[in-house]
Structure formats: C-alpha cells, structure tokens
Amino acid sequence: MSEVHENQWNRRDFPEAARDLLQNSQTRKNVQHATNVIQAKRNKVVAELPDWEDLREAGAQIRAHTLRHLDHYLTQFEENCTLAGGHVHWASDAEDARRIILGLVQQHDAKEVIKIKTMTSEEVGLNAHLEAHGIQPIETDLAELIIQMGKDRPSHFVAPALHVNRAQVRDLFQREMHLQELGDRPEDLTDAARTYLREKYLRIKIAISGGNFLIADTGGMCIVESEGNGRMCLTLPDVLIAIVGIEKVIPRYRDLEVFLQTLPRSATGERMNPYNSTWCGAHPGDGPKEFHIVLLDNGRSPILADKEARQTLQCIRCAACLNACPVYHQTGGHAYESVYAGPIGAILTPQLQSMKEGRSLPYASSLCGACYQVCPVKINIPEVLIHLRGKVVQQDQATLSGKLSLWNIGMQAAAFLFADASRLAMAERIGQVAQGPLVSKNGFIEWMPLMLSGWTQTRDLKAMPAQSFRDWWTKEKAPQSNGKQPNA
C-alpha cells in the first residue's frame, strides 16, 4: 500500500523534470509573477522591522534548542495535550499515519472529511488512501481545492497553486462545481469557493489539519492561515484530527511572539496573516468535542544524528526560500518531483528518505545563498546542500559501479592533479596540446566528449591560452621571488 501512494513523487531526476517544465511558458510566467509579487511584499515588510535580524536569531536559537531536546519537548507536549483532553498518537512512518487516521474516520462512520492544507498529509499520501477506502477528502484551502479539482500537484507550500492562473481556475471551477456562468475575476472565483464550501463546513463532522506549531508548555497547537477555512475546520466539526511532523514543537507559548512576527512576513509578505488560532486539546463548549493529534516521524528522527544537516528540521515552512531561489523561479515546484519543493525541499526530501531518493536535488542549486539570507530561522541551506552532495558521492563511492564510474575516475584524477603544483603544470601543458581538435576558429570550445558534454550543451568554453599564468609568472616575475614558485 505504501508503495502506491508515495511513488507519485520522485519519479525523475531534477534535470530531466526541469527540462520539461522549462518548455511550459505559461507555467513559468505564472510562477515568476507569483514569486516576484511575494518577494517584493516580503522585502517591504521585513525592512520595516529594525529588529528583524534579532528575530531571526531568536527563532533560529529556539528551533535549534528544541531539536537538541526533541524527546523532552515531545513528551511534555504529549502530557499537557492529554491533560487538556486531546488524544496523542505516534506514527513511525506514512503507513502508520494513514492507518491511524483512517481508523479514526471509520470509527465515526464518516464518508466525507474536510481538510485544511497540510504538507504532511501530502507527504503520507493521505487523500489517495482515504479515497481508496470510500472516504471523500475535501480540501478547503482555495489553492488546495484548485489542486484537488485539477488532479494536479502542489508546487509551493504557502501558495500551492501559484502555477495556475485565473483563466485556468475559472474553467476548472465551472466544470467541477457545475456552474452555468462564472467570471474570471479573482473575486468571482473566491465567491464560488465560498458558496461551494460553506455547505460542507456546516454539514461534515470530521476535519483533518496539519499544524504550524505544537506548544510543549500548554500542550496546545497553533494554526496560521488567511482564508478562515482553517478556523472553520478546527472550530465547527465534532472531531478534529491533526497530523504534524515531530519537529514542529516549540518549548513555550511565549515563543510564538517570535514566530508570529517572522512567519507571516516571510510567507505572504503580510505584517500578520488574517487568522492565527491557538487552542489546547478539547475545550467544552468551544470547538470539536474530540481532538486527535498524530505525531509523524517518517524519517525525521535519523536526521537529528547529522549535526550539520540537523538544522534542516528548524524549518517553519514559510517558503521564503522558494520565492528567493533563482532555480525555483525558473522551474517552479514540480521539477523537484517532491512534496517539499525549492531549496528547503532539496535538502529535506533526500534526508527524509535516507538519501535513497531525491539524490539529484542537492545539485538543483547554484549555491547563491539567497535562500539562507531570507530564512527566518537561519537554516544555512547552501552549507547543507554541499554536505549532502558529499554524502551522495560517498554513497556512490561505496559501490563497485560507482567506484568504476567515469565521474569517480575523472574526479579522482582531478583531485590527484590539483593536489600538486608540478602535476597541475604538466596537465596544463598536455591540455594546451590536446584541446587542439576541439577549439573552433573563434577561440571557444563548443563541444566536449562524454560527461564533459554537460558543460558545453548550453554554453561555450574559452580555450586554454597558449601561455598559462604559471608560465607567465615564471618568466616575468620569477627572478624577484628567488626562483620560488609563488604557491610552492
């Protein structure tokens, strides 16, 4: 069962998937428009806060501290949530999570559930599992509804449908909601969604959500949203089931004073998003009578062992790194073939799968550092990307075919040559002669053989000059430097 659901992602490597997406000019235009708009708004509201860097630092320290003591804070959360009338469940993997949630829904004989946007639900393939058991999940976030009706996949955590434009949404809504007439102004589309979903909020008895923060000292939860669909789902039904990654806990309620400043500004470029809700367990006379929370590991706990990569789990899913990334800007989220796209997805996805899947993702970056600069919890994504590239190489080198691959032989040869000045000088002299047949009349190399062809596919390489810097230096400057090589 688990194979079926999880395989809808990670089918292809990044370069292959990206090549296809780059051909789709409509999607690229939509993605670029959306990311430009959010980036500009984000930069404006971040610049308003003189203490922005202090907030980032505090956020980073709170998250790092929590991860260092994750077992302590999780059990504290569990204890307090239970005292407040909540039921805490633990899920080692996606299959556990699906089984627990399906069991709860079936216990209440529900045929439909309403849902708040949750990445963890996507991660465990919950919707397909519920559908396979005759339960209809209904997404209530506008963008998620667009994705669900279009049988599409989310491409961004905050605005999952930013790759779709209004005309596309109009056609979709008209067809799926059976509407005779529908305009394509965003107001018309929003109105249609309001009417369509309101009846469901009033009728359906079970809701499923994710969670932005679990609060250890109160045993409470925080959900951050804009539309009010979140409030509808977590207030009106009889039963609420939340599925949340184990890393989402924070120590104290007070810590929200940091994240409720950095998250909205980073995510949507607002000083504050329209609605934040916090509550503990089940509150008599207010909200669901039954509250369940499923704490999902699914590959997170082993990441804590890697001290350099552990910071990946500090993420609060604002998606600022996606909006800032020049690679995401061109390809959009689908090229990552992963629930979590963009720079954070490039480091999170392969680690969640013990570096067995998504191994091309750490390379899907130019290492420009824009992601680190905007991260509200200071995850040094470029550092982790390089660290993971190292892991991918080590994994390859551990196999015979990897050891004997052209890449490995080429890299080992390069390492050997670069390690010693006289070897490098000799290689340069050989290169000057050997490049002869490849150099065009204009002085550029336009084609290279084998794995080197990747470089010349999209750009030309300047031929090596007749005299290297090293030769020039020896000839011109050597007498003043006592005949010593400058780098010897």
Partner 1 sequence: MPDSSTARSRILASIRMSLGAASTADSIAAEYGTIARHYNRSSAAEEHALLDLFTDRLLEYDAGVHRSSREGIAATVAEILGLRAKHNIAVPAGIPATWLPAGFGFAVADTWSKDQLDKVEGTLSACSVAIAETGTIVLQNCPGQGPRSLSLVPDYFLCVVLAEQIVATVPEAFDRILATSTLPTTFISGPSATADIEMTRIKGVHGPRFLDVILAT
Within 200-219, the residues that bind partner 1 by CB under 8 A are 201-202, 218-219
Near partner 1 by CB under 8 A: residue from 231, 317, 359, 378: 231
Q: Which residues pair with 224 in a beta bridge?
A: 276
**Cβ-based nearer residue to partner 1, 145 or 445:** 145
Contacts to partner 1 from residues 279-308, by CB under 8 A: 279-280, 283, 285-287, 295, 297, 301-305
N-term to C-term CA, the chain: 61
Our finding on whether 186 is near partner 1 (CB under 8 A) is: yes
Our finding on whether 396 is near partner 1 (CB under 8 A) is: no
CB 155 within 8 A of CB 132: no
Q: Which stretch binds partner 1 (CB under 8 A): 189-197, 344-352, 372-380, 413-421?
A: 189-197
Residue with tokens 């504290």: 76
Q: Distance (Å, rounded) from C-alpha 259 to C-alpha 262?
A: 5
Contacts to partner 1 from residues 61-90, by CB under 8 A: 61-62, 65, 68-72, 74-75, 84, 87, 89-90
Two tokens, residue 19: 């090549």
Our finding on whether 408 is near partner 1 (CB under 8 A) is: no
Our finding on whether 323 is near partner 1 (CB under 8 A) is: no
Burial letters 348-361, b for 16+ CB under 10 A, else e: bbbbbbeeebbbbb
Our finding on whether 369 is near partner 1 (CB under 8 A) is: no
Near partner 1 by CB under 8 A: residue from 24, 32, 174, 278: 278
**Cβ-based nearer residue to partner 1, 2 or 226:** 226
Our finding on whether 129 is near partner 1 (CB under 8 A) is: no
Helix (H) or strand (E) holding 78: helix 70-83
**Cβ-based nearer residue to partner 1, 286 or 476:** 286
Our finding on whether 365 is near partner 1 (CB under 8 A) is: no
Least separation in angstroms between CB 388 and partner 1: 17
CB neighbours of 8 closer than 8 A, spacing ≥ 6? 125, 128, 153
Our finding on whether 103 is near partner 1 (CB under 8 A) is: yes
Kindly write down the DSSP assignment for every residue of 212-229, as one continuous string.
SEEETTTTEEEEEESSSH
**Cβ-based nearer residue to partner 1, 10 or 30:** 30
Q: Which stretch binds partner 1 (CB under 8 A): 27-35, 334-342, 408-416, 458-466?
A: 27-35
Q: Distance (Å, rounded) from C-alpha 82 to C-alpha 76?
A: 10
Two tokens, residue 196: 């369509």
Our finding on whether 54 is near partner 1 (CB under 8 A) is: yes
Near partner 1 by CB under 8 A: residue from 17, 138, 206, 258: 258
**Cβ-based nearer residue to partner 1, 277 or 474:** 277
Least separation in angstroms between CB 487 and partner 1: 41
Our finding on whether 174 is near partner 1 (CB under 8 A) is: no
Near partner 1 by CB under 8 A: residue from 19, 254, 403, 477: 254
Q: In the 8-state DSSP scheme, what is residue 151?
A: T
Our finding on whether 131 is near partner 1 (CB under 8 A) is: no
Our finding on whether 51 is near partner 1 (CB under 8 A) is: yes
Q: Distance (Å, rounded) from C-alpha 144 to C-alpha 155?
A: 10
- Alpha-helix residue ranges (DSSP H) falling in 333-405: 342-352, 370-374, 381-397, 400-403
CB 402 within 8 A of CB 396: yes
How many positions of this chain bind partner 1 (CB under 8 A)?
98
Our finding on whether 257 is near partner 1 (CB under 8 A) is: yes
CB neighbours of 15 closer than 8 A, spacing ≥ 6? 360
Our finding on whether 276 is near partner 1 (CB under 8 A) is: yes
Q: Which amino acid is at 102?
A: L
CB neighbours of 484 closer than 8 A, spacing ≥ 6? none
